[in-house]
């Protein structure tokens, strides 16, 4: 009888802790996701997936030392998964390997289901990708994000900005070349280690 009461009390404590985390982190996490995902429905779905992962991790008794950091890593991974599904083929095909064989962006990102080391590596690579995009010149970064991540057409971008489609194509081309170079270096460093 005491065992059943103790188990029930532990379950209630776990539920309360999860509820506290959700209440405390929901707003920040939602803002983080919405700043990176243009469709509010996709953003809300990712948010729900993140909290589902938290419940599952808790149910499986996975030790999570820094819950906030863990939640944001899971959110990043879900955002990557979303863009992987929705992104046009062009960027996925652009990471070149010495001009010979072509690597897919997916080749650089370990599966999110491959365990803690793969999750860490995936988060690190996502951070590198984010830093590489941020390091682009503003005009190249804007057209790259608008076309590749937001899925907006060059025609629409040209109409909005007053910049010709050819100029936008050129800016994106140079952005892709820089990203190829930087991501290839990262890939090479990981293969050495």
Alpha-carbon distance 133 to 137, whole Å?
A: 9
Alpha-carbon distance of 166 to 182, in angstroms, equals 25
Region of residue 153 (left: phi > 0; alpha: psi -120 to 50; beta: else): beta
pTM of the full predicted structure? 0.43
Question: Do the beta carbons of residue 91 and residue 105 sit within 8 Å?
Answer: yes
Q: DSSP string of 55-95?
A: HHHHHTT---S-HHHHHHHHHHHHHHHHHHHHS-HHHHT-E
| pLDDT values of the chain reduced to their tens digit, one per residue, 193 residues | 566 666 667 667 667 877 887 888 888 889 888 888 888 888 899 989 888 888 887 767 666 667 788 888 888 888 888 877 764 444 444 444 334 343 445 555 555 566 666 666 667 777 788 888 889 999 999 998 888 877 888 888 899 889 898 889 989 999 988 888 887 877 677 666 5
Spatial separation of the C-alpha atoms in residues 103 and 184, rounded to whole Å? 9
Q: With b meaning 16 or more CB within 10 Å and e meaning fewer, what string describes 110-131?
A: bebeeeeeebebbbebbebbee
């Amino acid at each position: 009888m005491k065992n059943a009461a103790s188990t029930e009390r532990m379950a209630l404590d776990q539920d309360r802790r999860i509820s506290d985390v959700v209440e405390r982190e929901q707003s920040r996490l939602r803002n983080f996701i919405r700043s990176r995902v243009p469709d509010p429905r996709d953003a809300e779905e990712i948010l729900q997936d993140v909290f589902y992962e938290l419940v599952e991790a808790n149910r499986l008794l996975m030790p999570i030392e820094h819950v906030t950091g863990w939640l944001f890593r899971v959110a990043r991974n879900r955002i990557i998964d979303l863009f992987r599904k929705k992104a046009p083929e062009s960027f996925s095909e652009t990471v070149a390997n010495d001009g010979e064989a072509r690597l897919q962006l997916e080749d650089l990102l370990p599966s999110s289901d491959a365990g803690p080391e793969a999750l860490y590596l995936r988060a690190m690579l996502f951070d590198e990708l984010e830093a590489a995009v941020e390091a682009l010149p503003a005009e190249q970064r804007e057209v790259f994000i608008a076309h590749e991540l937001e899925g907006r057409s060059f025609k629409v971008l040209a109409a909005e900005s007053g910049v010709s489609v050819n100029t936008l194509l050129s800016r994106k081309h140079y952005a892709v070349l820089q990203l190829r170079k930087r991501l290839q270096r990262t890939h090479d460093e990981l293969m050495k280690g």
